């Protein structure tokens, strides 16, 4: 599968990682699973990741801190945040920093599918636009 279809799933809850990866794979994406933001950063696939689905609150680095760190390093990877403890402040911060979606647990699979479809469609549109300008 092409590397432009990698979704990195970062959550300290193994059952959430597993369920989310099953959904992502059923939608035609490759899923990579990480138990922490630190393990994702050390994985070597940051540059290959097309989207990050991340919990907000995790031991160590939070999902919001990960988003900020990646942005500071020049990465523009789309984020889908999920949180068991939704707060308006965290949602505003994530969306203002460019997150695609901010979802509450338990996550509705159709909403995740919609977010990933938007990402796939935007990528196809950008490729089409590049081809049209050549």
pLDDT at 86: 77
What distance in Å separates the CA atoms of residue 95 and residue 114, rounded to the nearest whole number?
A: 17
pLDDT tens, per residue, the chain with 134 residues: 444 689 999 999 999 999 999 999 999 999 999 999 999 999 999 999 999 999 999 999 999 999 999 999 999 999 999 998 878 899 999 999 989 999 998 889 999 999 999 988 875 433 332 222 23
**Domains, the chain, ordered by start:** 3-132 (3.40.50.2300)
Q: What is the predicted pLDDT for the residue at 4? A: 61
């Amino acid at each position: 599968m092409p590397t432009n279809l990698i979704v990195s799933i970062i959550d300290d809850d193994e059952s959430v990682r597993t369920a989310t990866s099953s959904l992502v794979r059923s939608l035609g994406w490759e899923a990579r699973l990480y138990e922490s933001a630190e393990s994702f950063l050390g994985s070597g696939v940051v540059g290959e990741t097309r989207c990050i689905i991340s919990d907000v609150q995790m031991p160590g680095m939070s999902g919001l801190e990960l988003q900020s760190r990646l942005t500071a390093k020049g990465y523009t990877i789309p984020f889908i945040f999920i949180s068991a403890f939704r707060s308006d402040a965290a949602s505003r911060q994530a969306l203002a920093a460019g997150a695609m979606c901010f979802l509450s647990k338990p996550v509705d699979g159709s909403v995740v599918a919609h977010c990933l479809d938007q990402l796939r469609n935007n990528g196809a549109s950008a490729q089409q636009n590049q081809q049209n300008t050549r």
